[in-house]
Amino acid sequence: MSHPEQIARLQQVVEDLLREARQQGADAAEAGVSTQTGLSVTVRLGETETIEHTSDNGLGITVYFGQRKGSANTTDLRPEAIRESVAAACRIAKYTSEDPAAGLADPALMARDVPDLDLFHPWDLSADEAAQIALRCEEAARGFDPRIANSEGATLYTQRSGFIYGNSHGFVGGYPTTRHSLSCAVIAEQGDEMQRDYWYDSSRMPGELASAEAIGRTAAQRTVARLNGRKLGTRECPVLFRADVAPSLLRSLFGAIRGHAVYRKSTFLLDQIGVQIFPDWVSITENPLLPRAAASAPFDNEGVATAYRELVAGGVLQGYLLDSYAARKLGMQSTGSAGGVRNARIASSGQSFDELVREMDHGVVVTELMGQGTNLVTGDYSRGAAGFWVEGGEIKYPVEEITVAANLRDMFRQLVAVGSDDDIPGSIKTGSWLFERMTVAGD
């Protein structure tokens, strides 16, 4: 089935769901249907290890009887399964209590003009062709250095998806998307020591992926650099979060300004709109309407139109991330954030990674984070980490088995710089983050 035909079929399924909900007595309803097909090929030690073809469907329906809500999901798109899902959602709604904040998003906020964001670029390649690309990637990694002794393999993944959302405001919208990625993980050995690391790239367009050889070499380079790791004594010092781990800091910020955390009063950034939470040079934006970008979407998961937005300007928090439920709980308006932040970016203060290392003079570069030590209620932050020790503005040796700790409120306020090294894959664009000081716990 061609993609226009598939989208038309999904649209029909959504319209059937909404009609069925009306017939079963619901006052309002919303439905989303998605389908995806994918190919994943993994090569390990020069041999094709797995070839996986995937094909998935998903359907979700939510009905409202007044302000009583019920939801049901299924992976079966046949008409009888659709009827049964709607019936299940209606049964649930009849037994739930009224919730004054429940309901569809405001009809005035629906996306009326849905732009084409150019998100569909299929990659028509056979499993053999995919294996050849993965093989080139792994060979580049294994041939990089004699200390690369083993491999966890290289994986090429390509996926095409279709998605349609509709609700009883008369909104029905959707679009096809593609996503392609290539990754490689290898193991280096020296004496009794073993270290593992990886690298990858992902894109909507196959032609925009980094070359297989470049991904393999980067994976090997990162792995070999970790050999001869040392432990550190506990100290306070500057810490530089490398660009590939820095997105986790932005995710902590977004978690703390999500409407659901705010109305539950379970965030350290409660009542901080209009308050300076970063230095005045910091600007953080989201742009859901970027063509071909990883997290682009013309409307959110409730049909609300998305738009470019400043989340932090001049270091000052500009607003929360609200879906319609959280917005009602807070007496505010949805910000089109159902489904999260899309294409976030923090502006750089201009320095390259090497310049940041020179500027920090001494301290730790964090290249890996472990564990879940982030408390968004208090802002307390403590994560297991590995990286490098810097002395005299130069990287001296790898460090491992350390913990970096501080409070996010203080970390955000004491952010010294954000690098220009923001060419990392993914939907969050950021360079490396340099902090004035954190506690580094070791031996």
pLDDT the model gives residue 245: 97
- Mean pLDDT for the chain? 95
Residue 1 has pLDDT above 70, yes or no: no
311-326 residues labelled b (16+ CB within 10 A) or e (exposed): bbeebbbebbbbbbbb
Tell me what percent of the residues of the chain surpass a pLDDT of 90. Answer: 94
Tell me what percent of the residues of the chain surpass a pLDDT of 70. Answer: 99
pLDDT the model gives residue 417: 98
In which band, very low, low, confident or very high, does the pLDDT at 8 lie, cut at 50, 70 and 90? confident
Quick one: average pLDDT of 125-141? 98
- Say how far apart CA 354 and CA 347 lie, in whole Å: 18
| C-alpha pair distances (Å), 371 with each of 215, 367, 383, 385, 403 | 26, 14, 6, 9, 10
pLDDT the model gives residue 371: 86
Quick one: average pLDDT of 132-145? 98
Q: What are all long-range contacts of 377-381, with beta carbons under 8 Å and residues at least 24 apart?
A: 377/266, 377/267, 377/268, 378/268, 378/407, 379/256, 379/268, 379/407, 379/408, 379/409, 379/410, 380/405, 380/407, 380/408, 381/252, 381/405, 381/406, 381/407, 381/408, 381/411
In which band, very low, low, confident or very high, does the pLDDT at 2 lie, cut at 50, 70 and 90? low
Q: List, for residues 311-329, the tens digit of each pLDDT value.
A: 999 999 999 999 999 999 9
Residue 35 has pLDDT above 90, yes or no: yes
Q: List, for residues 378-406, the tens digit of each pLDDT value.
A: 999 999 999 999 999 999 999 999 999 99
Token pair of 278 as six digits: 């970063």
In which band, very low, low, confident or very high, does the pLDDT at 442 lie, cut at 50, 70 and 90? confident
Q: How many CB atoms lie within 10 A of CB 377?
A: 13
- Say how far apart CA 269 and CA 253 lie, in whole Å: 9
Question: Taking a C-beta distance cutoff of 8 angstroms, is the pair 178, 119 a contact?
Answer: yes
Domain boundaries, the chain: 3-225, 229-443
| 376 DSSP 8-state letter | T
Quick one: average pLDDT of 361-372? 94
Q: List, for residues 251-284, the tens digit of each pLDDT value.
A: 999 999 999 999 999 999 999 999 999 999 999 9
Token pair of 434 as six digits: 């340099």
Quick one: average pLDDT of 331-346? 96
In which band, very low, low, confident or very high, does the pLDDT at 7 lie, cut at 50, 70 and 90? confident
In which band, very low, low, confident or very high, does the pLDDT at 170 lie, cut at 50, 70 and 90? very high
pLDDT the model gives residue 96: 94
Architecture of domain 3-225: 2-Layer Sandwich (3.30)
